Amino acid sequence: MISGRDIICFSNDWDGDPLSKKHIMQRLARQNRVLWINSIGNRDPKPSLNDLKRMTRKLRQFASGCRQVADQIFVLSPLVIPFHGNPAARRINSSILTWHVRFISARLGFKKPITWTFLPTSADIVGRLGEDLIVYHCVDEYSEFSGAKKTAILQMERRLMEKADVQIVSSTLLYETKHSYNPKTFIVTHGVDVELFRKACSPVTAVPREVAGLPRPVVGFFGLIADWVDLKLIRFLALARPRWTFLLAGKLETDSSPIRNLSNVHLIGRKEYQDLPAYCKGMDIGILPFAINDLTLAANPLKLREYLAAGLPVVSTAIPEAEKLGHHVRIGRSREEFLQQLDTLVESGNLGTQLSISHSMDHETWDQKVEEMSWIVSYFLEEQARAKPGRHVHAPSLPVRPANA
């Protein structure tokens, strides 16, 4: 693993659910210092209560200054004008944020940092922070999120890709759409906290009371319930199998009318990450009911590996990265086929958490994935050093094909 480096990371909000970015930076912080820049946004705000609450929260976070949240991890919450489609707003943001990040970096004693960004909206800032290396780590097709200014996001992302010294993507489709802008592009798929989720297979893990008494089988989903979750599919399944339980654990951020008043659909809200294995233990099957669109086709959903590490059989819609995960993930290419795959599992009796399924994730841990990313980044750090006059250093050869392609 890379060590002794200072890393500036542009990402989502630190206090949100632990997405891939947080898993990666927590592991890098074991041997490096990380300045985590809370979200600078991807879309323009709307005159809604949710966006008003978000802006109020951002103001509170900004007022708290730079705070240390873990050993070697510092979080900065900047203020930005949230209109990324407006060139004037972007110029103002770039100037203010560049100054702010440089000021905090200097105060922390950061020197020649690696900028590791997950956000196209950082394009006007990266390269101005005294970096030794710029890493663009693309885990989503950001221009396809609801509310995003598509043209502006694509333009910013292109500038970022052209600036980056190395680019890492999490799915084959992202590789196909990004590598033409930067040939130094490598695929590293997401990992999973196997040790945590395998607790679902342990006899000492107790199923939460709100789930334990539900009629079986329990078909479960956890994660953000946003517009990429196909609630019309859930409605179809729930009406077709009224004696089954459909359990949805997660924050609701979309119209729930398709599943409203269905007695066998249970919305139980967001659960703490550390508690998810116990909820998995209360499920018989994990599902990924994603709508099929340009956003989800490029995605590599974390929960697929988390379900499998918990030992659950899985049924998913036809997301390309789901189809690569082997026979433990069944694919439903239509509502009817999705139901058929569920029926087949229920009839087989191979339900609930199973160690044999969990062990399929033994070589998919976050520790292994971060080592792979570190090896790629180390190569390009050494390449930068070799390019300096008078420096003669050796770096291992990179593979001819992108990693995991």
Beta bridge partners of 257: none
CA distance 24 to 390: 34
Whether omega before 120 lies within 30 degrees of 0, making that bond cis, reads no
pLDDT score at 266: 98
Q: For residues 359 and 341, is the Cβ–Cβ distance under 8 A?
A: no
CA distance 351 to 362: 20
CA distances from 164 to 249, 344, 360, 378, 397 (A): 37, 47, 34, 15, 20
| H/E element, 189 | none
End-to-end CA distance of the chain: 21
CA distances from 211 to 278, 304, 389 (A): 10, 21, 64
CA distance 91 to 112: 24
Q: Helix 335-348 crosses helix 231-240 at what angle (to 10 degrees)?
A: 50
CA distance 393 to 92: 41
Cα Rg of the chain, angstroms: 22
What SS3 class is residue 320?
A: helix
The 10 Å Cβ neighbour count of residue 15 is 12
CA distance 270 to 254: 14
- Ramachandran area for residue 4 (φ above 0: left; ψ -120 to 50: alpha; else beta): left
Q: Residue type at 333?
A: R
All residues at 6 or more sequence positions from 91 whose CB lies less than 8 Å from its CB, including other chains = 124
| H/E element, 224 | none
Class of domain 194-360: alpha beta
List the chain domain ranges: 6-191+366-386, 194-360
Encoding tokens for residue 272? 């703490």
What CATH number should be reported for the domain whose range is 6-191+366-386? 3.40.50.2000
In sign, the C-alpha dihedral spanning 362, 366, 371, 377 is positive
CA distance 20 to 76: 19
CA distances from 100 to 36, 124, 361 (A): 13, 14, 41
- The yes-or-no answer to whether 6-191+366-386 and 194-360 have a common fold is yes
Q: For residues 222 and 251, is the Cβ–Cβ distance under 8 A?
A: no
Which pairing describes strands 6-10 and 33-37: parallel, antiparallel, or unpaired? parallel
pLDDT score at 404: 45
Q: How many residues does the chain have?
A: 405
Long-range contacts made by residues 336-340, C-beta under 8 angstroms, separation at least 24?
338/233, 338/237, 338/289, 339/236, 339/237, 339/240, 339/241
Beta bridge partners of 169: 138, 187
Nearest to 125 by CA among 56, 72, 177, 78: 78
Average confidence (pLDDT) per 10 residues, the chain, 405 residues: 96 90 98 93 58 61 78 89 65 85 96 96 94 97 90 94 97 97 96 98 97 97 97 98 98 96 97 97 98 97 97 98 93 98 97 97 97 96 77 49 44
Q: Residue type at 262?
A: L
All residues at 6 or more sequence positions from 226 whose CB lies less than 8 Å from its CB, including other chains = 146, 253, 254
pLDDT score at 59: 62
CA distance 342 to 346: 6
All residues at 6 or more sequence positions from 217 whose CB lies less than 8 Å from its CB, including other chains = 244, 245, 284, 285, 346, 351
CA distance 144 to 343: 33
